[in-house]
Amino acid sequence: MWDPKKYLDFADHRARPFFELISRIDAEKPRRVVDLGCGPGNLTGVLAERWPDAQLDALDSSPEMVQEAQERGINARVLDVHDWAPDPETDVVVSNAVLQWVPDHLSLLAEWLPALRSGAWFAMQVPGNFDAPSHREIRALATEARWQAQLAEIALRSADAVSTPADYATALATDDTIVDVWETTYLQRLSGPDPVLEWVTGTALRPIRAALDDEDWREFRTELAARLRMAYPARSDGTTWFPFRRIFAVAHKSSS
């Protein structure tokens, strides 16, 4: 279950890649713009502002996220990306920080790209931080004897969910597609106590939270907090550097 309020902590840091992603989409008057995995809808609103004449299709598999988006005035609907396909009116597809939750997404790209019409744009961004200390510490703790039976499978499931930039370029490149793929590591400056723990609580720890009762969850978080403080020490001014790698891929089907 997603907690939209928790996810919206650090909204500035989470939003920046979205703006950098959509800045590479050069569509002038798209008819339909799709937000695949719209989350709480705060960024979907940016799509509506950029293309006010387009029909916006916002979808997400989480009813909690869809409700939050609807409360912001976004006409969002509950739908899993596996059940979505482009239609002939689809001119722009944006999927920001979603496909890392969809382990078979390379095969979905192989279905979606040929189905997009000439001139359409597909833009995605995924975190590329599964080898970062934050995620290594989660996996190391979850596979310790104390937690292994409850958590090892869950923690290891997502370890290779994201591919390399070259894999995305290859998946999106067809004879009639121009592909633009890049990666960035943001050196994020977080503040407050245990900020990395708070960050991952809104995202990577969700499946772990769902698998534990309240008492075990408190214990797991306490143990993880100590590890993350070592991995990401607070600076003398109280802030913490949290490097975060992200991978971007934009494909434009050339008009023919």
Tokens of 34: 């799709």
CB-nearer residue toward ligand SAM: 43 or 123:
43
CB-nearer residue toward ligand SAM: 123 or 228:
123
The answer to whether 15 and 96 are in contact (CB under 8 A) is no
129 makes contact with ligand SAM (CB under 6 A): no
Chain-centroid distance of CA 80 in Å reads 14
Q: Which stretch binds ligand SAM (CB under 6 A): 98-106, 171-179, 208-216, 229-237?
A: 98-106
43 makes contact with ligand SAM (CB under 6 A): yes
CB-nearer residue toward ligand SAM: 36 or 142:
36
Q: Which amino acid is at 36?
A: L
Which of 33, 34, 62, 181 is close enough to bind ligand SAM by CB under 6 A? Answer: 62
Q: How far is CA 23 from CA 20, 46, 164, in A?
A: 5, 12, 22
Question: Which residue's structure tokens are 């990395």?
Answer: 196
Question: Which residue's structure tokens are 């997404």?
Answer: 105
Q: Cβ of residue 207: shortest distance to ligand SAM, in angstroms?
A: 11
The answer to whether 27 and 91 are in contact (CB under 8 A) is yes
Which of 25, 51, 60, 205 is close enough to bind ligand SAM by CB under 6 A? Answer: 60
- Euclidean distance between CA atoms 251 and 176, whole angstroms: 10
128 makes contact with ligand SAM (CB under 6 A): no
Q: Cβ of residue 237: shortest distance to ligand SAM, in angstroms?
A: 28
81 makes contact with ligand SAM (CB under 6 A): yes
The gap between the terminal CA atoms of the chain, to the nearest Å, is: 43
By CB under 6 A, name the binding residues for ligand SAM. 2, 14, 18, 37-39, 43, 60-62, 65, 80-81, 96-98, 101-102, 203
